[in-house]
Structure 1
Amino acid sequence: MNKKYLQNFYNQYKVFDFLHTIRQCGIISFWIFLSVLFTTSSSLLVQEYPGKVRQYTHTIEFDYVNWTFDAFWQKFLQSSIRLEDYLPEKQPSGIVREYLRSVRQISQLESQINVIYADPKITDKVAAAKSYQLQLDQFNAYKKQLAPYAESTLQSQISTILSENGLTLIGQPIPPVLYHSTPLPMALIVSPRNKIQQDANISLLADMTAGDMAALEDEVMKNLNVSALVVPIGGVGIYPTMVMSTSDLSFLAETVAHEWTHNFLTLRPLGINYETNSDLRTINETTASIVGTEIGKQVLKRYYPDLLPPESEISTQDTTSDTSNPQATEPEPFNFRREMHTTRVQVDKLLAENKIDAAETYMEQRRQFFWDNGYMIRRLNQAYFAFYGAYADTPGGAAGTDPVGPMVRALRKQSSSLAAFLNQISMVTSFDQLTRMVDNPPAG
C-alpha cells in the first residue's frame, strides 16, 4: 500500500470538525445498538443449549462478546478513516486480489512447514523450517496490513450490488455490510439418534485438533446417548459478520452476503424465529444461501469477471446427472450431491422404522464409500444431516426429501426480483405460511 494515501488522510482529516463529530457519534450509537442486538441474540441461544451438553463444552466455548467488540472497534476505525476513499479509482479491486494472494501464500507456507515437521527423515526440523517460518511471519504481517483495505473495499462493493438489487434504505443496506475475516469457531452439533434434528449448536474454540473433536464427540455420544459432530463453519451472522479467512473470492463474497442476509433477517420475523423449529432454521439458511449466491456472483461479474467459474461448471455442480440411459457406455463421474441425497433418504427411512442401529451401520458404510471416492468425511451421522441438511438452496444433497428447501426455491422462482423474494420471505413465521405464499402468489 502506497503510504501517500494514508498521509493524505492525516493531512486532510479534521478530527475536531463539529459536524464530523456529530456524524461519528451517530455511527457509534447505531453500531453499538446493532452489536448488542446481535451479540445478545447469540448469547441467548447459548443460554438455551441443553445443560447436559454444555457440561462437556463450557471450558472450550468461543467468546463471542470479546470478539464482537474487538471487531466492532476495528470497523469503527475503518469507517472513521473511510479507507476506500484514499485508494485510486482502479486500485480497490487490486487490493482485494493482493490480499487473497497473501492468504494463498500463507496457506502454502503453512503446508510446507507441516510437511517438514511430519517428515521422519528430517531431524533438525526447526532449522529446516526456518526460512519458511520467516516467510510466513512476513506474509502474516503483510496480510494484517492489507486486511482493513481489502475488507473495506469488498464491503463497499457488496453494498453497491445490494443497492442495485433494491436491498437498501436511502441507498444504504440495513444493517450496513460489515465483516471481519478471522479463524472461525468450530461448532458442536447434537441430534437425537432416533431422528434427524438439531438440538444444540455450540460454538467452540477455533484451534481444536481432529483428536480433540473426536474425543468430545465420543464423550457426548457415550454419556448422553445422542448423535454429535464437531463441524467447521464458513461464517457467523453476528455483527460485524465473522467470516473465515480464504483465498477463494467467490466463496468469500457469497459468505459475506450470506451472513449479511442473516443480519437482515434478524431484524424481521423470520430471523427472530430462527430457533423456533427446524423448518424455520432451514428457511433461514436456505434463504441466506440463495441471496449469498446471487449477490456473490454479481460482485464477481462486476468487479472480478475473470474469476467467475465457467457456466458449464456451475451447471454440473447444481444438477443431478441422468442415469436412465441404458446405452451409456462410459461410467459416470462420482456425483456427491446425488449420493448424499440417496444416503439421507435411506437413513430417514430406517429411522422412521426405528431401526437406529441399522441406520448408523449404513451411514458408516456410506462414509467409507464417500472416502473411497475422494470425500474425506470424518464422521457421517444424524448430527451431520441435522447441520448440513438445513442448507437446501440447491436440489439433492444432505437435505434429502425435506420439502422446506424446495418450497423456498419455489418462492424465489416465482418472485419478480431478489428484493421481492427477501422482503416477502422475511415475514414468514411458519412452513404453512410459506406454503400459502407459494400456492397463492400475488396477482400481476
Structure 2
Amino acid sequence: MKFFNRALIITLALGLLLFLLSDSIVIVTSTRDGLERITAGQTFNFVSWTLDALFQKAVGASMKAEKFLNGDQQSEVMRQYVGLVAQKAQLEAELTRLVSEPGEKDTQAIETAKKALDESSDYLKKYSRLAEATLQTQTEALLASIGFGLSGQILPPVLYHVTELPLNLIVSPRDVIQAEYEISLKAGLDTLQKEAIESEVFERLDRAGLVEPIGGMGAYPTMVMRTSDLAWLADTVAHEWGHNWLTFHPLGVRYFDSPQMKTINETTASIIGREVSLEMMKRHYPELVPLPVVEEPESGSMEDADKPTEEPQGFNFRRAMRETRVKVDALLAEGKISEAEAYMEARRAFFWEHGYPIRKLNQAYFAFYGSYNDVPGGGAAGNDPVGPAVQALRKQSASLYAFVSRIQSVRSFADLQLMLSQ
C-alpha cells in the first residue's frame, strides 16, 4: 500500500509540475520560429526520456532494497557506487589510449579492455538503481530533518535519474546580455555541430548563441550527470529538487518572467544544493567534507578603496571573469557591440593562457553562467545586484528552511528588495 501511495504522490506531483511549467513558457515569435528551423531534428525528446525514467524508478521502487539498509550500509552503497563510476571512467580512458596510440595496434589488449569496459558498464547500470534510491532516501531524510516536508513526507519526493544530459542552446541579443531563449538539444553533438548551430543563430537571427553542457535539469525525475564526485552529486540532486519544490510556489512559477526571476530561482536552488550537500557530507561522509574557504571581499568595497592594487598570488578566475563582464556591460551600454565582441574574444584567449579553455565567450555565455550567482564575488554575473540580494536574504535567515520559506513567495526583484528592507 505504501508503494502505491508513493506512486500516486509522484504521479500527481509530475502532473502538477508539467501543468505549472506549461503555463510559464512563452512561445511563438519570428525569432523562435527561426530557432525551431535551425534546431530541427536536434531537440531533446523529454516525453520519451520521462517515460523511460519513470519506468526505471517504478522498477526500483518495487524492490525497495535501500529500505532494508541502515545508515552506515546506505553510505557504503554510495561509496561503492562512486568507485564504480571512477573505475568505468578509467577503463574508458584505457580503451581510448589503446585505440588512439600511434603505431601497430595491440588487438588482444584492445579486445580485453573492451570486454572489461562492457562488464563494468553492465554492472554499473544494475547497481545504479540501488545507488539512486539510496541517495534519494538520504536526501529526503535530511530535508525532513531541517524542516521540509509534511509529516515526514517530502513533497515532491526526491526523484533523480543519472543520464546523458541534453545540451543547452542559450540565445542572447547582441546589444544586451539576456537569456532570450533556451532550447534543450540532443546529447552527443560534437564541437563542429555546436559551432554550426551557433553560427546560424548569429548569421540568420543576429543573436549570440552558445551550446553548453549542463550538470542537471529540474525535470521530473530530475536529470543528473554521472560523476564520481559524491559531494557534487548530492549538491546537484538537491539543487534540482529545489527547482521542483519552488515550482509549487510563486517564485518557481515565475521562473521565465524575466532574467532577474531566473537568477533568483537559480541562485536559490544553488544555495539549497550547496547547503544540503555540505550537511550530507557531515552526516554520512565526513571524509569528504571540504576545507573551509575564506571568502574574498568584493572588489571596489570601501575597505579596499585605499589599498594598492596588487596582482593576486596565482590566477583568480572569478575575479578575472567579473572584470570581463563589467567591461562588456559597459561597452554594450554605450552601443559598442563589435568592440565588446572583440574584447570578449581577446579575453577568451587570455583565459586559455591561464588554463581555462573556454570554447566561446559571448553574450550568451554571460547570460547563462551569470544566472548562477550564489557565491560572493560576482564571477560571470559581474555587478548584477540580484544574486547578492539573494545571498543577503540567506544571511538574514536563521536556517535554510527559513530562507526558502521566505524567498519562495517572491514574485519580482522588487519583492525581494522589499523583503530585505523589512
TM-score under structure 2 length normalisation: 0.93
> Residue 51 and residue 43 in structure 1: after superposition, are their counterparts in 2 closer, same or farther (change >3 A)?
farther
Distance 1:326 1:345 in 2: 20
Distance 2:34 2:312 in 1: 48
> Residue 326 and residue 46 in structure 1: after superposition, are their counterparts in 2 closer, same or farther (change >3 A)?
closer
Q: Which residue in the other structure is 2:47 paired with? A: 65
Distance 2:191 2:125 in 1: 27
> Is the contact made by 1:39 and 1:68 (CA closer than 8 Å) also made in structure 2?
no
> Is the contact made by 1:270 and 1:427 (CA closer than 8 Å) also made in structure 2?
yes
Q: Does 1:155 align with 2:147?
A: no
Cα distance, 1:67 vs structure 2: 1.0
Q: How big is each residue's C-alpha offset from its partner over 1:304-328, in whole Å with a ceiling of 9 and x where there is no partner? A: 00011212xx336x76698986597
Q: How big is each residue's C-alpha offset from its partner over 1:349-406, in whole Å with a ceiling of 9 and x where there is no partner? A: 0000000000000000100110110011000000000000000101220001111001
SS in 2 for 1:315: coil
Equivalent position amino acid for 1:69 in 2: L
Q: 2:67 aligns with which of 85, 90, 110?
A: 85
Distance 1:202 1:91 in 2: 41
> Is the contact made by 2:163 and 2:223 (CA closer than 8 Å) also made in structure 1?
yes
1:281-296 equivalences in 2 (<5 Å): 281-296=262-277
Cα distance, 1:38 vs structure 2: 3.1
Cα distance, 1:276 vs structure 2: 0.6
Q: Does 1:431 align with 2:410?
A: no
Q: Which residue in the other structure is 1:28 paired with? A: 7
> Residue 220 and residue 128 in structure 1: after superposition, are their counterparts in 2 closer, same or farther (change >3 A)?
farther
Q: Which residue in the other structure is 1:12 paired with? A: none
> Residue 333 and residue 31 in structure 1: after superposition, are their counterparts in 2 closer, same or farther (change >3 A)?
same
Cα distance, 1:33 vs structure 2: 2.1
1:209-358 equivalences in 2 (<5 Å): 209-311=190-292, 314-315=293-294, 332-358=313-339
Q: Which residue in the other structure is 1:172 paired with? A: 153
For structure 2, the residue ranges without an aligned partner over 5 or more in a row are: none
> Is the contact made by 1:116 and 1:128 (CA closer than 8 Å) also made in structure 2?
yes
Q: Which residue in the other structure is 1:194 paired with? A: 175
> Residue 361 and residue 323 in structure 1: after superposition, are their counterparts in 2 closer, same or farther (change >3 A)?
farther
Q: Which residue in the other structure is 1:414 paired with? A: 396
Cα distance, 1:438 vs structure 2: 0.2
Distance 1:211 1:24 in 2: 47
Q: Does 1:368 align with 2:349?
A: yes
Cα distance, 1:146 vs structure 2: 1.2
Q: Which residue in the other structure is 1:386 paired with? A: 367
Cα distance, 1:128 vs structure 2: 4.7
> Residue 373 and residue 323 in structure 1: after superposition, are their counterparts in 2 closer, same or farther (change >3 A)?
farther
Cα distance, 1:172 vs structure 2: 1.6
SS in 2 for 1:79: helix
> Residue 267 and residue 97 in structure 1: after superposition, are their counterparts in 2 closer, same or farther (change >3 A)?
same
Q: How big is each residue's C-alpha offset from its partner over 1:243-291, in whole Å with a ceiling of 9 and x where there is no partner? A: 1100011110000000000000001111011001111000000000011
Distance 1:278 1:190 in 2: 13
Cα distance, 1:130 vs structure 2: 2.0
> Is the contact made by 2:24 and 2:255 (CA closer than 8 Å) also made in structure 1?
no
SS in 2 for 1:309: coil
Cα distance, 1:126 vs structure 2: 5.4
Deviates more, 1:26-35 or 1:226-235: 26-35
Equivalent position amino acid for 1:427 in 2: S
Cα distance, 1:168 vs structure 2: 1.4
> Is the contact made by 2:25 and 2:256 (CA closer than 8 Å) also made in structure 1?
no
Equivalent position amino acid for 1:178 in 2: L
> Is the contact made by 1:271 and 1:284 (CA closer than 8 Å) also made in structure 2?
yes
Equivalent position amino acid for 2:334 in 1: E
For structure 1, the residue ranges without an aligned partner over 5 or more in a row are: 1-19
Q: Which residue in the other structure is 1:9 paired with? A: none
> Residue 48 and residue 89 in structure 1: after superposition, are their counterparts in 2 closer, same or farther (change >3 A)?
same
Q: How many equivalent pairs are there?
A: 414
SS in 2 for 1:48: coil
SS in 2 for 1:376: coil
Distance 1:44 1:204 in 2: 21
Cα distance, 1:90 vs structure 2: 2.5
> Is the contact made by 2:324 and 2:344 (CA closer than 8 Å) also made in structure 1?
yes
Distance 1:39 1:184 in 2: 19
Q: 1:38 aligns with which of 3, 6, 17?
A: 17
> Residue 100 and residue 226 in structure 1: after superposition, are their counterparts in 2 closer, same or farther (change >3 A)?
same
Deviates more, 1:102-111 or 1:82-91: 82-91
> Residue 414 and residue 88 in structure 1: after superposition, are their counterparts in 2 closer, same or farther (change >3 A)?
closer
Cα distance, 1:81 vs structure 2: 2.4
Distance 2:350 2:309 in 1: 26
Q: Which residue in the other structure is 1:8 paired with? A: none
> Residue 331 and residue 30 in structure 1: after superposition, are their counterparts in 2 closer, same or farther (change >3 A)?
closer
> Is the contact made by 1:286 and 1:392 (CA closer than 8 Å) also made in structure 2?
yes
Cα distance, 1:39 vs structure 2: 4.1
Q: Which residue in the other structure is 1:185 paired with? A: 166
> Residue 373 and residue 125 in structure 1: after superposition, are their counterparts in 2 closer, same or farther (change >3 A)?
farther
> Residue 127 and residue 43 in structure 1: after superposition, are their counterparts in 2 closer, same or farther (change >3 A)?
farther
